[in-house]
Amino acid sequence: MAHSYYVVMRDFGRLGLEASIDPEITRREVISRLRSTEYDRVVFIHHIHDGVCEDVTDDVLAEAGALEEVA
Protein backbone atom coordinates (compact mmCIF):
# COMPACT_ATOMS: atom_id res chain seq x y z
CA MET A 1 0.00 0.00 0.00
CA ALA A 2 1.35 3.43 -0.93
CA HIS A 3 1.80 6.00 1.81
CA SER A 4 -0.16 9.22 1.52
CA TYR A 5 -0.31 12.10 3.96
CA TYR A 6 -0.79 15.86 4.25
CA VAL A 7 1.65 18.41 5.63
CA VAL A 8 0.04 21.60 6.92
CA MET A 9 2.66 24.30 7.60
CA ARG A 10 1.58 27.10 9.89
CA ASP A 11 3.29 30.40 10.74
CA PHE A 12 3.33 31.52 14.38
CA GLY A 13 5.33 34.67 13.76
CA ARG A 14 8.17 35.07 16.24
CA LEU A 15 7.54 31.56 17.55
CA GLY A 16 8.36 30.17 14.10
CA LEU A 17 6.78 27.65 11.78
CA GLU A 18 5.08 24.40 12.72
CA ALA A 19 4.29 21.49 10.42
CA SER A 20 1.31 19.31 11.30
CA ILE A 21 1.88 15.83 9.89
CA ASP A 22 -0.30 12.82 10.67
CA PRO A 23 -0.51 9.92 8.21
CA GLU A 24 -4.02 9.14 9.45
CA ILE A 25 -5.46 12.58 8.63
CA THR A 26 -7.35 12.65 5.35
CA ARG A 27 -8.02 15.56 3.02
CA ARG A 28 -11.54 15.71 4.44
CA GLU A 29 -10.12 16.03 7.97
CA VAL A 30 -7.67 18.76 6.90
CA ILE A 31 -10.63 20.69 5.44
CA SER A 32 -12.64 20.15 8.62
CA ARG A 33 -9.77 21.48 10.74
CA LEU A 34 -9.43 24.54 8.49
CA ARG A 35 -13.16 25.26 8.77
CA SER A 36 -13.06 24.96 12.56
CA THR A 37 -9.94 27.20 12.62
CA GLU A 38 -7.94 24.49 14.40
CA TYR A 39 -5.57 25.03 11.47
CA ASP A 40 -5.01 28.75 11.04
CA ARG A 41 -2.17 30.91 9.70
CA VAL A 42 -1.54 28.35 6.97
CA VAL A 43 1.57 28.91 4.87
CA PHE A 44 1.16 25.83 2.66
CA ILE A 45 -0.44 22.41 2.45
CA HIS A 46 1.40 19.60 0.70
CA HIS A 47 0.05 16.18 -0.20
CA ILE A 48 2.77 13.55 -0.18
CA HIS A 49 1.91 10.46 -2.22
CA ASP A 50 3.60 7.96 -4.53
CA GLY A 51 6.98 9.61 -3.97
CA VAL A 52 5.61 12.99 -5.07
CA CYS A 53 5.15 16.19 -3.06
CA GLU A 54 2.16 18.08 -4.47
CA ASP A 55 1.27 21.63 -3.38
CA VAL A 56 -2.50 21.53 -2.78
CA THR A 57 -2.73 24.74 -0.75
CA ASP A 58 -5.07 26.71 -3.00
CA ASP A 59 -7.36 23.75 -3.75
CA VAL A 60 -7.76 22.69 -0.11
CA LEU A 61 -8.21 26.24 1.19
CA ALA A 62 -10.80 26.92 -1.52
CA GLU A 63 -12.68 23.75 -0.55
CA ALA A 64 -12.61 24.84 3.07
CA GLY A 65 -13.71 28.35 2.14
CA ALA A 66 -10.58 29.73 3.80
CA LEU A 67 -8.52 31.32 1.02
CA GLU A 68 -8.06 34.45 3.12
CA GLU A 69 -6.06 32.33 5.60
CA VAL A 70 -2.99 32.07 3.32
CA ALA A 71 -0.10 33.91 4.95
Per-residue pLDDT of the chain (71 residues; tens, 9 = 90+): 578 999 999 999 999 999 999 999 999 999 999 999 999 999 999 999 999 999 999 999 999 986 554 44
CB 23 within 8 A of CB 3: yes
Please give the helix or strand (H or E) that residue 10 lies within, else none: strand 4-11
Of 30, 34, 27, the C-alpha closest to 66 is 34
pTM of the model: 0.86
